[in-house]
Amino acid sequence: MTTPEPDIAIDARGITKIYGKNKVVDDFDISVPRGSIYGFLGPNGSGKTTTIRILCGLLTPNEGSGTCLGFDIRREPEKIKEQVGYMTQKFSLYKDLTIRENLNFVARMFKVKNRKKRVKEALETLGLADRSTQLANNLSGGWKQRLALAACLIHDPKLLLLDEPTAGVDPKARRVFWDEIRELSKKGVTVLVSTHYMDEAVQCDYIAYIAYGKKLIDGPSTSIAKQVGLTTYRIEGERLSALEDRIRNAPGVAQVARFGTGIHVSGTDAALLESTVKALAEAENRSWSQQPAGLEEAFIYLMTGSSDNFAKPDGEAKK
C-alpha cells in the first residue's frame, strides 16, 4: 500500500542558527503546504537563504526541530537532500560544458534511471533542445536560468529551492520562468523562493517577511497587507518632492513612498490619515484616492521598524 503524500511539506518550530555571537535565524516557525509556492522576503543579510537551507536539510540548526517531506531535518537530512532541487543565485553549472553535457553530468550525479531519456525530456520541456550543443558560457542570462532550472529538475525533486532565481534576468525571461514554476506547483512540487522583487512576491501563494533573523509576519500573500493593518492613499500632481517632505511627519502618516508618478501615503490610524491627506492634497490642488495597501507598502512598513542584528551597539566602535 502506497503511503499518501503529506498535506504539509515542511513543518518546523523554533529554528535558530547562530554564527559567532549573532543569531542569523531567531526562533523561526513555519508550515508549508505541499505543492505551494512559498516566498521569503527581506533585506540582504536577513537570513532568508540560511532559513531555507535549514528547512531543506542543507544546514543543521543550533536549536529547533521540524520535518521536511516527512523526514526529520536533524536526523534525516540526506533523505531530504535526495528530493530537493537547489537553484543558487549565481550560475553554478560548468561553463565549458554544453547544455546537454551539463544535464547529463547532473543526472549521473543523482543516479537518474534512463538517463539519456530523462535528459532528452528535460531539454524539450524547457525549450533547450535546439541549443543543446551550445556551451553554457555562451548563454544569455535567461537561457542560463532555464538550464539551471532543468538541472534542478532532472531527478524529479519534490521540493524546489530557488535563491534569488531571476536576479539579472530580463522581464520577459522572468515571466517565462514563473510560468514554468506555476506549472510545477500544479503538479505537486513544493517551491521555496527567496526574492526581493515585489512582482515576484505576488506570484507566491504564501509569504514570510524576514528581517535580520526574525520572522515579522507570514501567511497567504493576499492577506499580508491586511494583517499589517495599513490604510493607503495615492496622491498625484506636480512638485511631489516638496509635498513628500511636508507630509512625512504629518499626523497619522507612518510612511511615504514614491510609486511612479505619484506618492503612496500609509498609516495604521485610518481616520487620522484620511484627515491629513485630504487637507494637504486639497489645499495644494492635488488629486488623491484611497487604494488597497499592497505588498510593497507592507514590506516598507515592516522594514522600518526592524534593526540589524549585525549592527554594533551604541557606543561600540564599528570595525
> Does 78 fall in a domain?
yes
How much is the pTM?
Answer: 0.83
> Does 163 fall in a domain?
yes
In this predicted model, what pLDDT tens digit does every residue of 119-165 receive, in sequence order? 999 999 889 999 999 999 999 888 998 999 999 999 999 999 998 88
Count Cβ atoms within 10 A of the Cβ of residue 53 and give its class: 0-12 exposed, 13-18 middle, 19 or more buried: buried
**Banded model confidence at residue 54, pLDDT cuts 50, 70, 90:** very high
The rounded distance, in Å, linking the Cα atoms of 266 and 272 is 11
Exposure string for 243-266, b = 16+ CB within 10 A, e = fewer: beeebeebebbbbbbeeeebbbbb
> What's the alpha-carbon Rg for the chain, to the nearest Å?
23
Number of domains present in the structure of the chain: 2
Return the SS3 of 271: helix
Task: Looking at the structure, tell me whether residues 270 and 210 fall in a common domain.
Answer: no
Position 306 scores a pLDDT of: 54
What average pLDDT does the chain have? 87
> Does 19 fall in a domain?
yes
Average pLDDT on 284-295 reads 85
Position 1 scores a pLDDT of: 44
**CA atoms within a 13 Å half-sphere pointing along the CA-CB vector of 208:** 23
In this predicted model, what pLDDT tens digit does every residue of 156-186 receive, in sequence order? 999 999 988 877 777 787 888 888 899 999 9
CB 267 within 8 A of CB 254: yes
In this predicted model, what pLDDT tens digit does every residue of 58-101 receive, in sequence order? 899 999 999 999 999 999 999 999 999 999 888 889 999 999 99
In this predicted model, what pLDDT tens digit does every residue of 241-267 receive, in sequence order? 888 888 888 999 999 988 888 999 999
Task: Looking at the structure, tell me whether residues 21 and 66 fall in a common domain.
Answer: yes
| Domain that includes residue 281, residue range | 231-292
H-helix segments, the chain: 48-55, 77-81, 99-109, 115-125, 141-153, 171-186, 198-201, 224-228, 240-247, 270-283, 295-304
